[in-house]
Structure 1
């Protein structure tokens, strides 16, 4: 029996990287996950956050393959599957209290906690900033060299970039970079909303709410610790809007007046929506005194782009196919990528003991197939995401279009 074990590096400890790690660990395949951030504390994993709705054919399929479906179910429930759509004046145009949806919601920190709890602590190297990636050019051109700066350099048989929008691993495979998507997002939280703001809590409901109009959006999700997460989407051609508007230097309290008094933003919106934004800005000021508001531009990769296959490296998730978040497809596609890639690695690993020399060739062929299949699936989802984004933000009366879209989905 051969003692050969492939050296596998996974860059990024988000849902994609952790899902891949759990699947490989389940099959006894060694790997190391390298993550820029420090290990999250229990307190950090309990903070308010956005919720992710997992789909049966992707996110849930990966959870099932990890053997975690029962445990996963115990982590859900902070946000129901209810959906509401309002226009910019706060008028309710559509409501589904969860009867039509079959996609369980889970807070992002909880899925991270679930996956982390099923990985050996020794398999993750926290606080490792990847400086560069290159073909090693040493004993074997298939090896990929990773430079972690103060943590040194190392080589691997396979490097998987699960390192998000600005992936360092992607730079080894392609010169393609994300481009500005024409939109900014501001993220806020209201803690203990039911007890502190009962009228707002009843209005937004137990699941998700979208208020759409003038090509902007204010969307909410119920989340952990009785909180509500507020996303403010601003359509603007200026890629540097945060700086030119001055919002990037303001606290939430300071930004509140600008957001609610500027006609090009939300001054013309309904009273309940403005009350919601004001409450969120005030809450952020209490819990994050002195911090500037969380405002970021959104970026995407070109739909359908591909890279020339490179022996020894590949990508999953946002590193491979970055899309706008409002359609909620990112985590599902990322976890499906990890499931498909794990299946390829497991299949190649099964022949190692029979003939280790065949491992790399077999793995290379399987990963080539994986990348081809991933590209096809990603293009289909990206096309759908662009369609939904256009529905949400493509017209001044997007709420009516979105409500009609939801109704058509319920009828099909």
Structure 2
């Protein structure tokens, strides 16, 4: 039986019981009133406002889960393939969620208990060391205030709250434009949007694709750092070279070591049970422990340009190891400083990580939007969340938390406008127009709040990065952590 019918039937029983005191006529009127209201608020997605969420990352999935909980129709479009069960077992980075942002959003999704059950893969211990591996500061636990979960586990958790038919996998947004002008009270606004996607979901081959067009009332860009939603609909007034994020000055090589605890006990002891930072010479090694005694290593290197590292995903491992660890070439010849003067244990960590790599390496520059350029020119019917709105480096630990918080804030204003529009008029067209008119000022306020919070976090991320790659980085980073988590002397 249709889930809406089941829910409606259960709610109608309560209405009928309450109405018995009013007699048969009163009960009939109350029941009819309820049916009308329920039908309007839970009508078919084809009859009411069409909401498109571009991207099935943490922000997009959280928004979808919250809207579904409120029975508001939407569709998520994601360019990647639908994850298989085996994908969730693969290594991924750890995310620490904060009480007022990420954890609050999961609570609103009804996922707190499920999250707690999965947040034991990486401990909350932190170690800060210098480039020799000498510990300058450590902490056993933050008191469970910022529990961690792997990115893949979080994705699986959120997908459990979004029905499969609400997500269109392998749909890559290729263009977006305004298709009609809708008049709101006192204003003319471009409000209907046509989105064009490259659909690879049926073909199974990269050379056999088809285009899909949809027209929607609200576009939510949750499509990450290189958001096509942002470039196509919100930043069109900017010169092309000002639309994209900028290079932050660091590149990151991601390495995974499985079963580190038993296979490399000395390295396991060095890294500890949680997060580990070693800093020096403008570079950083970050390690996070994962399930089954695994470790994910981020080798972070300062370079002037995003392509000056001279290493690609297919560069032979031996060549990469020589470039990172050998003293055969000078820093001047490379134009960046490598790890040849670092301690032997940390050099061994890099060597083991490279030897363990079984596929093309994940090597990428870290990008950001300038702190004073996060905001965009508001446009009715379009908004952004997550990295699409406020891309920053990961050195404040706020990226995913802000994405989830953005989704929570946006869901609340959508729900508010949706509920208020239910009684507006006697047909879907009236209610749709009312929804748009009610939603726009609410979204504008939500965007202001979102950007204000994001600017603070983005500035913190930038400031922290300067400490991490600057002079006396290890000592200054240890002092930072001591300020964040004062330890008894």
Q: Is residue 386 from structure 1 mapped to residue 462 from structure 2 by the alignment?
A: yes
In the TM superposition, residue 255 of structure 1 has moved relative to its aligned partner by 1.0
Change (3 A) 1:48 1:246: closer
CA displacement at 1:139 relative to structure 2: 7.6
CA contact (8 A) 2:256 2:294 kept: yes
Q: Deviations over 1:127-169 (max 9, x none)?
A: 0011011111378831111101324111111010000000000
CA contact (8 A) 2:247 2:305 kept: no
1:299 equivalent to 2:367? Answer yes
Check the 8 A contact 1:82/1:98 in 2, yes or no.
yes
* TM-score scaled by length of structure 2: 0.80
Q: Which moved more, 1:146-155 or 1:88-97?
A: 146-155
Give the Cα–Cα distance (whole angstroms) in 2 for the partners of residues 237 and 206 of structure 1: 34
Q: Is 1:153–2:229 an aligned residue pair?
A: no
Gaps of 5+ in 1: none
| d(CA) in 2 for partners of 1:155, 1:99 | 47
Distance 1:389 1:407, change over 3 A: same
Partner of 1:190 in structure 2? 257
Greater RCO structure (CA 8 Å; 6+ sep): 1
Number of the residue aligned with 2:338: 265
Separation in structure 2 between the aligned mates of residue 139 and residue 55 of structure 1, nearest angstrom: 40
Query: What CA distance in whole angstroms lies between the structure 1 residues aligned with 2:124 and 2:195?
Result: 42
1:376, 1:191 → 2: CA distance?
40
Q: Provide the rounded CA distance (Å) in 2 between the counterparts of 1:251 and 1:76.
A: 36
- For 1:237 and 1:331, how far apart are their aligned partners in 2? 27
CA apart distance, 1:226: 2.6
How far apart, CA to CA, are the structure 1 residues paired with 2:223 and 2:318? 33
Distance 2:295 2:423 in 1: 54
* Deviation string, structure 1 residues 317-336 (Cα, Å, up to 9, x no partner): 00000001132210001111
Distance 1:139 1:339 in 2: 27
Evaluate the alpha carbon distance shift between residue 230 and residue 112 of structure 1 in structure 2; reply closer, same or farther with a 3 A threshold.
Answer: same
- Partner-residue secondary structure (3-state), 2:379: coil
1:312 paired residue number: 381
8 Å CA contact 1:143–1:312 kept in 2: the answer is yes
Structure 1 residues 246 and 375: CA distance shift in structure 2, 3 A: closer
Q: Which residue of 2 aligns with 1:129?
A: 172
Q: Work out whether residues 173 and 197 of structure 2, in 8 Å CA contact, stay in contact via their aligned partners in 1.
A: yes
User: 1:191-236 CA deviation, whole Å, 9 max, x = no partner?
Assistant: 1111211111111011000000111101100113431000011111
Shift of 1:119: 1.1
Partner Cα distance (1:340, 1:221) in 2: 30
Question: Which consecutive residues of structure 2, in runs of 5 or more, have no partner in the other structure?
Answer: 1-35, 184-189, 199-209, 332-336, 425-430
Contact preservation (8 Å) 1:78, 1:222: yes
Shift of 1:99: 4.2
Cα distance in 1 for partners of 2:316, 2:408 equals 41
In the alignment, the residues of structure 2 paired with residue 31 and residue 247 of structure 1 have an alpha-carbon distance, to the nearest angstrom, of: 39
- d(CA) in 2 for partners of 1:59 and 1:297? 25
CA distance in 2, matches of 1:138, 1:42: 44
After superposition, residues 309-388 of structure 1 pair within 5 angstroms as 309-355=378-424, 356=431, 357-388=433-464
Change (3 A) 1:246 1:379: closer
* 1:119 counterpart residue number: 162
Q: Does 1:30 align with 2:73?
A: yes
Three-state SS of the structure 1 residue aligned to 2:214 is: strand
DSSP 3-state at the match of 1:142: strand
Return 401-410 or 254-263, whichever deviates more: 254-263
2:351 aligns to what? 278
What is the deviation of 1:95?
0.6
Residue equivalent to 2:478: 403
In the superposition, relative to structure 1, how do residues 99 and 239 fare at CA in structure 2: closer, same or farther (>3 Å)? Answer: closer
Larger deviation, residues 76-85 vs 138-147? 138-147
Please point out which of 210, 234, 243 is paired with 1:173.
234
> Size of the alignment, in residue pairs?
404
Whether the aligned pair in 2 keeps the contact of 1:100 and 1:410 (CA below 8 Å) is no
Matches of 2:251 and 2:385, distance apart in 1: 24
In 2: Cα distance, 1:190 partner to 1:36 partner:
29
Question: For the Cα contact (< 8 Å) 2:95–2:148, is it kept in 1?
Answer: yes
Number of the residue aligned with 2:110: 67
CA RMSD of aligned residues (A): 1.6
Distance 1:110 1:88, change over 3 A: same
Q: CA deviation at 1:410?
A: 2.4
**Residue 201 (structure 2) aligns with:** none
Between the aligned partners of 2:435 and 2:181, the Cα distance in structure 1 is 19
Greater Rg, structure 1 or structure 2?
A: 2
Query: Hey, what's the Cα distance between the residues in 1 that align with 2:452 and 2:55?
Result: 23
Q: Is the 8 A contact 1:9 1:159 kept in 2?
A: yes
